[in-house]
């Protein structure tokens, strides 16, 4: 794997005027969230639609991850799918983000901006895509293998997805939010992986990020009680080396401090009376 470096970013892709935009588009920041983390039945029904669309978009983009394609071309695929289905790509214009998905390659932990860089044989590519439709968001991501990925990195990807599965199983009404991070970190420690701390899961619904924090490491201070009807994401970021990171001058792209690979997976969840329902399935 060669180190990732910034490349050319194409002009912003247009969204047809008839598609509703989130209130934050091209604003300095979103409006503060004043609602409840527990959603009503109507909001949940709409989130199921948004989550399914996001999952279908992710699946489609993932099929195109291969050596020779650019991350900008992957962005175009995701963008076109969402707008053709009447959804707005939630990242486009969020705090100035210029693209319709995040593409984080190899040592990029999260928030990579799609650009003219060509995906190489042996790369891993995380695609993070969110659909906004009928006033709600559905947010999901996955890490895809491009060509012949080395065993160590392939296992990192598999185990990161497994850490998400285990975290979802740990969600139960009455438990504290920090159980999620405890499960993820204890699993990651078996393999000596770094667990990114500063970028977390989040509450989601009519707002992209509600202010609710879902930690991926063991920290007792995150003691919010999980309740039925809550909707939030879990999105662990595991690293082959250190969990420490640096940010590029674009104020978005986050890379591991030691240049080693990082993988991530994410689902939007609804807390049920007995556990969690995954809303971001195709």
pLDDT tens-place values along the chain, 282 residues long: 779 999 999 999 999 999 999 999 999 999 999 999 999 999 999 999 999 999 999 999 999 999 999 999 999 999 999 999 999 999 999 999 999 999 999 999 999 999 999 999 999 999 999 999 999 999 999 999 999 999 999 999 999 999 999 999 999 999 999 999 999 999 999 999 999 999 999 999 999 999 999 999 999 999 999 999 999 999 999 999 999 999 999 999 999 999 999 999 999 999 999 999 999 999
Q: Give the predicted TM-score (pTM) of the model.
A: 0.97
**Beta carbons of 23 and 127 less than 8 angstroms apart:** no
pLDDT at residue 130, as a whole number = 98
Please give the pLDDT value at position 2.
75
Distance, CA of 262 to CA of 124 (rounded, Å): 9
Nearest CA-CA partner of 185 in 225, 215, 158? 215
What distance in Å separates the CA atoms of residue 281 and residue 91, rounded to the nearest whole number? 20
* DSSP per position, 230-272: BEEEE--EEESS-S-EEE-TTS--EEETT---EEE-BEEEEE-
Count of helix runs (H) and strand runs (E) in the chain: 4, 15
Q: Rounded to whole angstroms, what are the CA distances from 264 to 75, 102, 182, 273? A: 18, 12, 17, 28
Cα 179 off chain centre by? 20
HSE value, Cβ hemisphere, 13 Å, CA-based, for 78:
35
Both tokens assigned to 258: 């030691």
* pLDDT, position 23: 97
Contacts of 158 (CB under 8 A, 6+ apart): none
């Amino acid at each position: 794997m060669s180190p990732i470096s910034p490349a050319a970013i194409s002009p912003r892709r247009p969204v047809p005027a008839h598609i509703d935009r989130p209130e934050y588009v091209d604003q300095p920041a979103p409006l503060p969230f004043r609602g409840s983390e527990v959603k009503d039945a109507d909001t949940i029904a709409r989130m199921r639609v948004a989550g399914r669309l996001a999952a279908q978009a992710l699946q489609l983009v993932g099929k195109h991850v291969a050596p020779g394609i650019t991350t900008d071309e992957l962005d175009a695929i995701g963008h076109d799918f969402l707008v053709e289905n009447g959804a707005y790509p939630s990242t486009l214009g969020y705090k100035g983000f210029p693209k319709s998905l995040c593409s984080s390659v190899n040592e990029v932990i999260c928030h990579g901006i799609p650009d003219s860089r060509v995906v190489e044989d042996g790369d891993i590519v995380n695609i993070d895509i969110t659909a906004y439709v009928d006033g709600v968001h559905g947010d999901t991501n996955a890490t895809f293998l491009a060509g012949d990925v080395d065993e160590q990195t392939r296992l990192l990807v598999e185990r990161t997805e497994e850490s998400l599965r285990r975290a979802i199983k740990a969600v139960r009404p009455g438990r504290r939010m920090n159980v999620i991070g405890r499960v993820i970190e204890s699993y990651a420690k078996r393999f000596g992986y770094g667990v990114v701390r500063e970028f977390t899961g989040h509450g989601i619904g009519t707002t992209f990020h509600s202010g609710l924090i879902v930690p991926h490491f063991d920290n007792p201070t995150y003691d919010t009680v999980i309740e039925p009807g809550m909707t939030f994401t879990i999105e662990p970021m595991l690293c082959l080396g250190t969990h420490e990171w640096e940010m590029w001058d674009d104020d978005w792209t986050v890379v591991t401090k030691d240049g080693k690979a990082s993988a991530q997976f994410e689902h939007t969840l609804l807390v049920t009376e007995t556990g969690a329902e995954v809303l971001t399935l195709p």
